[in-house]
Amino acid sequence: MRLVEPGDQVWGRIHSALGLTDAVAASPRLADYASAAEPAEPAEPAEPAELTEPAEPAELAEPGAESEPSAAAEPAEPGARAEPSATAEPEPERAAVAEPGPTPGPDQAGQSASVTDIGAGSRSHARHRRRRVWLPVAVAAGIVGLVGGIGGGIWWESLRQQAPAPVIATAELDPFPGWTASGVAQVEKTADGHREVVVDVTGATDAGLREVWLIKSDASGLISIGLLDGDSGHFAIPDGVDLSEFPLVDVSAEPDDGNPAHSGDSIVRGELRTV
């Protein structure tokens, strides 16, 4: 039977499994142990000793007597080849267990580190790629939401403007003597719950300053709500004003003298009636 010598890879795995140091990193070789055990020249075999008759049992030696060494204890002749004992373990067997092969060198460690770095870089690149993909989507969604919100607000405001405000009272404006103008007044309730008077007057554009008033039925009190510019205008009614107490809508011609009182020169006037 021929023994096959283990390779460096086998010794390297044994070295790693046992956790040995670099001091025993070299792989053992059978040739090294064989050259150390064999002598330079083979010695001639010793002649067999002559058979001797068995000696009779010796008597007990007296105290102090020295016994002669037996022939079996005599040293072997120089150059004689010693026969290995049956119980001795072969040196290569012990070395195979004790000394594993070399550990992975720096090149192998560098290769492992390179593989790890490439994997980490790939994962990092994938994360950055996902961020780059997600960012335009988020920006686009934000733009769509902004445009949708603006468009919805404009649409709602246009609906509010297009929807006519409910009319709660109207008045026909009749001219006073010396005037040929005419018109109409309506009280509307706005979307925010306030009230305003919408006045339309024709035939009085040459009157200069024209002021709109709310007047009591007996003319004992009046409230100015603004100046009319052109043929029509919207005038807010102050909160708390009871139109049942101030049912008359009056448009007067006013001089530009800074006097806030009514001039007494009314162009048209009419009484509000609830719709």
Q: What percent of the chain has pLDDT over 70?
A: 57
Q: Return d(Cα 147, Cα 143) in angstroms, integer.
A: 6
Q: How far apart are CA 34 and CA 264, in angstroms?
A: 143
Asked if 259 and 214 count as a contact pair (C-beta separation under 8 A), the reply is no
Please, how many CA atoms are within 13 Å of residue 208, restricted to the half-sphere of its CB? 10
pTM confidence score: 0.44
C-beta separation of 231 from 205 below 8 A: yes
b (16+ CB within 10 A) / e for 225-247: beebeeeebebebeeeeebeebb
Domain 167-274 part of CATH 3.40.50.150:
no
**Secondary structure class of 253 (helix, strand, coil):** strand
48 or 7: whose pLDDT is higher? 7
**Structure-model confidence comparison of residues 6 and 199, the more confident one:** 199
Instruction: Report residue 9's pLDDT band, with 50, 70 and 90 as the boundaries.
Output: confident
